[in-house]
Structure 1
Amino acid sequence: MCFYDLDRTVTRFPTWSWFLARTILRYCPWRIVLVPFVMLVAIGRAVGWVSRDRIKEVMHGVLIGRDTRQAVIDRWAGSFADHVVRNGIRPGALLQIAADRAAGHRIVLATAAHRFYAEPIARRLGISDVIATEARRRGNRITHRLAGANVYGEAKLAAVSAWLSGQGFAREDLLVRFYSDHASDAPCLAFADRGIAVNGNRSMRALAGQHDWTSLDWNLTTAVVA
């Protein structure tokens, strides 16, 4: 079982800010005037006044709308997924996904990104299983509120464990790999039989060395593990 983080692991850039910026510019450019307000909230996040979950809701509500028809979100997300797969996937990630698939491993994308655009990206990469942050829905509309926790840090490990249980897997019967670029995924990397630190910065590489995790650079087309 191979779990892949998305942002900066499979992709070159963080996808949430990328999705918001592209969506504003292409579909609702008038919302650019609201960006300074979001920047103020981001400062609040930096000093600890605003939670990670709450700033995600604020960014969503202010920059793309508090309540949007799912068909509209799907159109925006599909266009974004096409753009990401054309321009923003690390070459080593594509090779590793292909190698894991050829070896018979089940591949799961496990990400804090919103499902409404993470799932289209995954589909284009041939990945059918996705664990992601969920937006609260109301009928055929998607709201800016989160349905549950932002799937980040310990919450991602909880989501992975819940997904395994829901699929009928017992952890002791599995060999698990987890690929990630960021120290926030340390709980998931430690949970895995083999943690693989990908594209990590200096502190992440140091953490990998402390825990005997493999380190790879997926900007290189030779950085694949068997």
Structure 2
Amino acid sequence: MRIAIYDLDNTLTRRATFTPFLIFAARRIALWRLALLPVWVAMMIAYRAGLYDRTTLKTGGMKLMVGKVGIATLQDVGREFADRRVADDGLMPATLALLEEDRRQGARIAIATAAFEFYAAAFAKHLDIDTVIGTRWDGRSIVGGNCYGETKLARVRAWAAEQNHQLEDAEFRFVSDSFADAPLLDLAYEPIFISASSRKREKAKARGWRIISAD
């Protein structure tokens, strides 16, 4: 069984999606929230300083820039956001070539991302990918943890088990730009690391991962 799993931000997309989504959603839902952007920037600086974790940061970002909005509305805004990004040449050509290769070989394809599922699913639809394993939002909080690092590995394992597959027994390709995905990259039969940074590419090469330049 061939399984191919892709990260979203900076892997299938050329750039990260969360902050751009927050800005896009604020414009569509509550324009006045754009005045709070300096607060969001301060929150990101505090996160980088180690004052809180990613789950706290993302939860705070949603509450600050989006507010209490139903999932149906978020899905609608997410589709518009993805449509705009894709139309604006927002997908990564090198990764799209891998995706077509996986399709030709009959792979079971999924996206596994820390991005919220309500908009990651819209990118997946553009790419004709049915399965999205992402961070879940219930309108107030993140459910089941941020889909990142070891949590992403656990979520991918659970998905594979539902399909009656074990990742260790599969011809498993995993593609990502992030060292946070090292648990999945190290597990994969074919780990692929994509980056425009020569320093990161050298570090990934030292771990035995296949390297693709995002230049």
Same fold (TM over 0.5): yes
- Classify 1:203/1:218 alpha carbon distance in 2 versus 1 (closer, same or farther; 3 Å): closer
Deviations 1:128-171 (A, max 9, x none): 011101112xxxxxx13100110111111111111111222123
Aligned mates of 2:171, 2:100 — CA distance in 1: 18
Gapped runs of 5+ residues in structure 2? none
Which residue of structure 2 aligns with residue 83 of structure 1?
84
| In the alignment, structure 1 residue 101 sits paired with structure 2 residue 103 | yes
Which one-letter code corresponds to 1:23 in the other structure? A
Which residue of structure 1 aligns with residue 10 of structure 2?
8
Which residue of structure 2 aligns with residue 217 of structure 1?
213
Which one-letter code corresponds to 2:70 in the other structure? R
**Alpha-carbon contact 2:4-2:109 (below 8 Å) kept:** yes
**Alpha-carbon contact 2:172-2:190 (below 8 Å) kept:** yes
**Pairs aligned (count):** 212
Deviations 1:66-114 (A, max 9, x none): x212221121011011112222101122222112101111111010000
Aligned mates of 1:218, 1:175 — CA distance in 2: 24
**Alpha-carbon contact 2:168-2:187 (below 8 Å) kept:** no
Q: How many percent identity over aligned positions?
A: 34
Aligned ranges 1:145-156 → 2 under 5 Å: 145-156=141-152
Gapped runs of 5+ residues in structure 1? 137-142, 220-226
TM-score normalised by length of structure 2: 0.93
Aligned mates of 2:132, 2:70 — CA distance in 1: 22
Which residue of structure 1 aligns with residue 59 of structure 2?
57
Say what the alpha-carbon RMSD is for the aligned residues: 1.5
Which residue of structure 2 aligns with residue 198 of structure 1?
194
- Match of 1:123, SS? helix
Q: CA deviation at 1:200?
A: 4.8
Aligned mates of 1:14, 1:145 — CA distance in 2: 21
TM-score normalised by length of structure 1: 0.88
- Classify 1:56/1:28 alpha carbon distance in 2 versus 1 (closer, same or farther; 3 Å): same
| In the alignment, structure 1 residue 43 sits paired with structure 2 residue 39 | no
